[in-house]
Amino acid sequence: MADGLQQWQRSASRGQWQGRGGAPQVGILSDTMIARGEQLASVALICVNAIGLVAGAVPRILPAAPAADIDAYLDGLDGLFVGGGQTNVHPSRYGQMADEARDGPFDEFRDEVALHLIPRALARGLPALFVCRGIQELNVAFGGTLAKEPDDLPEDKRHGTPGADNEDARYRLRQKLTLRRDGLLQEICGADTITVNSLHSFLIADLAPGLVAEAVAEDGSIEAVSVEGASTFALGTLFHPDYWASTDHTSARIISAFGDAVHQHATARETA
């Protein structure tokens, strides 16, 4: 099995980020969480390392604070990464009633920031990668909807997090996807099908206008999208390429393609 979080934790030889002054900057949107009664901004280190070591950019954490100045967040960035999280988009954001027990937990601070941040970043032409909760936010920001998969599906038919005793097993590559012919993801991966992880219980219901399905699972559900007419890299995946970015071919190709677009944006910005 490719090295994931367990191997990252055990290894001291992963190298260091190569970013110095003038290096590309990628904004990573945080979650909010409460620990010991204190509200914190949090980001998974696995995606921070993927951006720093595989994409070759300097990660810049963007706290999901509802009073955030979105345009100030985006100033100076060369890319945006909106990753997964421990919460779901609140159904009221796409016009549905919420059931806390069924649909939660929620992070409405992140909802508020993400749904403003995403359209403005794309309008600026920033390369952007949206993973898991990130693609759900992208779909909602563009006017689409989400739906929770049934709770009683057997594990081999379920998109949600599988049972496991460690993180590498939870993120194991277990779901086969078919890629859109001549699409962005097919071009990046150099394949017609890929095998990915799957930890999302919410699926894309109505695909938003302006988004194009790039991959579907065996049950027909949309697993990846691109932004139609985008001037640069703009891809969303319900799976997590950041987790296996150091060793899995498909994951590395996606993160590296994002990194290439980020570096191109930085070069263009420097010469403008």
pLDDT of residue 4: 52
30 pLDDT above the threshold of 70: yes
21 pLDDT above the threshold of 70: no
Interval 43-65 mean pLDDT: 93
Tens of pLDDT, residues 127-145: 999 999 999 999 999 999 9
Tens of pLDDT, residues 70-120: 999 999 999 999 999 889 999 999 999 888 778 889 999 999 999 999 999
| pLDDT over 70, % of the chain | 92
| pLDDT over 90, % of the chain | 73
CB 28 within 8 A of CB 62: yes
CB 250 within 8 A of CB 256: no
What is the reported pTM? 0.92
Which position has the token pair 């996807």? 177
**Separation of first and last alpha carbons in the chain:** 44
